[in-house]
Chain A
């Protein structure tokens, strides 16, 4: 996979360096589900309507976006448009579309809520738009709960309620684990915020771990030690490598799985009729019942040779009707305010569980905390996430005590901030 990614990256580096023909717009795209196919279809339609612009869609692995695109951008290369998740971290490479788009007000009105997530601090730049808004949340294996005779906890249930109920299901149904959370700083930040954690210091830089964060992380490690939470996914890598626990849930090995809205299509496709499952939103802590927002954005790259054509492409894909169609066909939550406000999204799925799950996520957006909404646009989010995942992973593997992990998380973050300042 890695070799293939490297070769793809090299090929793309070569191709992007030759993509300077007038009218050529190269999009670097990755897919979690079916969105690559949907995008291919939409690109075809765009080119029929705009015969002067040739859009080349490069479907690449996510690792290429994560590891190789930043290197290309640092070298002043890259595609004309890219679908990315590290939107704030790379924001200095995005093109300001404000003077180029047809109606900047349309962009401000409909994509303004997330505009800060993808532009350099203090600017009013229009860099692109979110192709999907995601929200973390939980999924319960309803069949296991029913078979165990344990009622599924209600909307205001706490993390402790979910742990207790899932543990009962685990013991009754003899599944390996009661709960699992993806090995991801973004995912585990949701319960931390619900426990009152605040990552952002008064100077805008990372603050040391506070009591809220420490309380939940201590609980998480205890749950892993007593077998309530799956250790496997967290000890299965070093550093801040991402690992999802989706396969364990899909295989019926978990009562409760905490991930996010982007898993809906995946679960619907892979679970099929094997068992019933439901989305349950984010459990509560003492401070909130919040999930973590996020998502992927389509952004224009400032090194493009064809900024006007790029703006035409972005204008077309940002249209309300196109965003609506894209969301309905991909089962993604839309990032366009008008589409959200008007409602009436007709998700193209025969799977009633998937449709119900998407509605739960739409509903859960209402309980998203202020602190959670700030993090996607905060420069140091990834740094904090990485430190937490690395050190808690080591703690669960038995290499660190929890108090040492807290000390290391703080010193790791401080060192990164210092490195960035050099």
Chain B
């Protein structure tokens, strides 16, 4: 008599279940075909997706068509597109103060510049970091951990750490003072504060994107570099002709993720600056949060309309990027 192995023992209940469901599934396949089976297996996921993503999206859209301060939909009046009209009521979109919802347009402008600057700098720094970490360095694993460490921190912790560093009596000013320099108001000067939000965001998230690019770099076949070396190709040409084109899929992922993340920026900046000084670091997500939940007399309808607009912009941007990515792939195939 043979003793059953551990894996057989562990698989026994699974096999039992499989035997029970085998017959009905075969009948189902016969009735619906292969395509029907795919739908059957996808159904649980689609149900969860529907309940937790699509349904809230629809409810959010309905909210954006209602007015008042009540939370229950049943207690809210249908006002059509009035919330959208209110958001778009503006004499000059480049001058937020000429708009009825000036805070919204200020937040749009701030978010736009934040996205442009932060995403560009993020890709550049993540790429440089990944290229350096991909080289034969002493204690390479240690350095990789160092750059990845901030990603593990909670955004609130990131905000607080940098607040302690940058505030009037913070670590940075203490350092400047020790060197005989005057302290500076990093978090209350409009220009410095905006730069600080970009810097903090880079510090907090760069490691994640560097890791994606690093994975791409390590997937590039070594023999391509060896062939280039044998041909005497200059390093810059190797980078532009081999590294960058082969990294393109990873870079596209990084651009899409960094873009979505930067449009949604909220927590660490909210803790760091609270949107100030004035409204110079007020971003869209904070505007939506404050309008819907934190202001005196909350306006969930206006917040919902702003979030629908933000979501629409994100979808369009993602589609454009995916289109560009696909065109690049097709070009490569030809």
Verify B267–A2 contact, CB threshold 8 A: yes
Comparing A47-55, A153-161, A232-240, the segment that makes contact with chain B is A232-240
Q: Does B144 contact A (CB under 8 A)?
A: no
Chain A: CB-nearest residue to B280: A397
Q: Provide the residues of chain A in CB contact with B169, threshold 8 Å.
A: 251, 253
What's the Cα separation between A236 and B68 when bound, in Å? Answer: 30
Chain B neighbourhood of A404, CB < 8 A = 97
A71 to B154, CA, bound (A): 25
A231 in the interface (beta carbon within 8 A): yes
Complex: chain B residue closest to A237, CB-CB: B274
CB < 8 Å: which of B100, B102, B168, B297 contacts A416? B297
Known contacts being A71-B293, A237-B273, A238-B279, is A420 close to B68, with CB within 8 Å?
yes
Cβ contact of B296, chosen from A231, A235, A236, A240, cutoff 8 A: A240
Least CB distance from B268 to A in Å reads 10
Are B276 and A235 interface neighbours, CB within 8 A?
yes
Contact among A231, A239, A394, A400 with B294 in the assembled complex (CB-CB below 8 Å):
A239
Chain A residue nearest in CB terms to B298: A70
Contact A422 B67 (CB under 8 A): yes
Instruction: Determine, out of A13-21, A187-195, A287-295, A379-387, the stretch whose residues face the partner at the interface.
Output: A379-387
| Number of residue pairs spanning A and B whose beta carbons lie under 8 angstroms apart | 109
Write out the residue numbers on chain A whose beta carbons fall within 8 Å of the beta carbon of B79.
422
- Give CA–CA (A274, B314) in the complex, Å: 54
Q: How far is the CA of A382 from the CA of B295 in the complex (A)?
A: 9
Q: Which of B256-287 contact A (CB under 8 A)?
A: 267, 270-271, 273-282, 286
A67 and B67 contacting across the interface, CB-CB below 8 Å: no
Do residues A1 and B271 form an inter-chain contact, with CB atoms below 8 A? Answer: yes
Residue of A whose beta carbon sits closest to that of B299: A419
Complex CA distance for A382 and B294, rounded to whole angstroms: 12
Q: Choose one: B278, B290, B298; the contact of A397 (CB below 8 Å).
A: B278
A236 contacts B70, C-beta separation under 8 Å: no
Report whether B276 and A393 are in contact in the complex, using a CB–CB cutoff of 8 Å.
Answer: yes
- Asked whether, in the complex, the Cβ of B156 is within 8 Å of the Cβ of A1, the reply is yes
Which residues between 58 and 72 of chain A lie within 8 Å of chain B, taking CB atoms?
66-67, 70-71
Q: Tell whether, in the assembled complex, residue B275 and residue A239 are in contact, meaning their CB atoms are under 8 Å apart.
A: yes
Cβ of B77 < 8 Å from any Cβ of A? yes
Q: Are B185 and A71 in contact (CB under 8 A)?
A: no
B290 lies within 8 A of A231 (CB):
no
Query: Is A286 interfacial (CB 8 A cutoff)?
Result: no
Q: What are the residues of chain A within 8 A of B286 when measuring CB–CB? A: 238
| Contact status of A419 and B67, CB under 8 A, knowing A231-B188, A232-B168 | yes
B293 touches A422 (CB 8 A): no
Q: Do the beta carbons of B273 and A236 come within 8 Å of each other?
A: yes
A238's nearest neighbour on chain B, judged by CB, is B275
Alpha-carbon distance A298/B331, docked complex (angstroms): 69
Say whether B296 contacts A238, CB under 8 Å: no
Task: Kindly state the interface size class of chain A when it binds its partner.
Answer: 35 or more
Q: Does B310 sit within 8 A of A, measured CB to CB?
A: no
Is the C-beta of B103 less than 8 angstroms from some C-beta in chain A? yes
Provide the A148-185 mask, 1 if CB < 8 A to any CB of B, else 0.
Answer: 00000000000000000000000000001000000000
Interface residues of A in 225-277 (CB under 8 A from B): 231-232, 235-241, 243, 251, 253
B72 touches A74 (CB 8 A): yes
Mark contacts of B176-200 with chain A using CB atoms, 8 A cut-off: 1 yes-contact digit, 0 otherwise: 0000000001011010000000000
Is residue A3 within 8 Å, beta carbon to beta carbon, of the partner chain? yes
B288 CB to nearest A CB, Å: 12
Count of B residues near A, CB < 8 Å?
Answer: 43
Which residue of A has the minimal Cβ distance to B75? A74
Is residue A398 contacting chain B, with contact meaning CB distance below 8 A? yes
CB distance B69 to A236 under 8 Å?
no
- Asked whether A67 lies within 8 Å of B276 as measured between CB atoms, the reply is no
From the candidates A67, A232, A400, name the one contacting B188 in the complex (CB within 8 A): A232
A354 to B97, CA, bound (A): 46
Q: Is B267's CB under 8 angstroms from A238's CB?
A: no
**Could you tell me if A238 and B278 are in contact, using CB atoms closer than 8 angstroms?**
yes
**How would residues 285 to 309 of chain B score, 1 for a CB under 8 Å from any chain A CB and 0 otherwise?**
0100010011111110000000000
Instruction: Give Cα A232 to B100, complex, Å.
Output: 28
Question: For the complex, what is the distance from the CA of A235 to the CA of B168, rounded to whole Å?
Answer: 13
Interface residues of A in 391-422 (CB under 8 A from B): 393-394, 396-400, 404, 408, 415-416, 419-420, 422
Interface string of A1-33 (1 = CB under 8 A from B): 111100000000000000000000000000000
Given contacts A383-B296, A383-B297, contact A2 B156 (CB under 8 A): yes
Q: Contact between B299 and A235 (Cβ–Cβ < 8 Å)? A: no
Residue of A nearest to B291 (CB): A239
B164 within 8 A of A: no
A236 touching B276 in the complex, CB below 8 Å, given contacts A71-B71, A422-B67: yes
Residue of B nearest to A400 (CB): B97
Min Cβ gap A248→B in Å is: 9
Give 26 A-B contacts (CB < 8 Å), ordered by A residue.
Answer: A2-B267, A2-B270, A3-B155, A3-B156, A4-B156, A67-B294, A75-B71, A176-B168, A231-B188, A232-B185, A236-B188, A236-B274, A236-B276, A238-B274, A238-B286, A239-B275, A239-B294, A240-B295, A240-B296, A241-B274, A393-B276, A393-B278, A396-B277, A397-B280, A398-B278, A422-B77
Q: Which 8 A-B pairs have the closest CB atoms?
A: A238-B275, A397-B278, A237-B274, A235-B277, A74-B71, A386-B296, A422-B67, A382-B296
Which residues of A approach B to under 8 Å, CB–CB? 1-4, 66-67, 70-71, 74-75, 89, 176, 231-232, 235-241, 243, 251, 253, 382-383, 385-386, 393-394, 396-400, 404, 408, 415-416, 419-420, 422
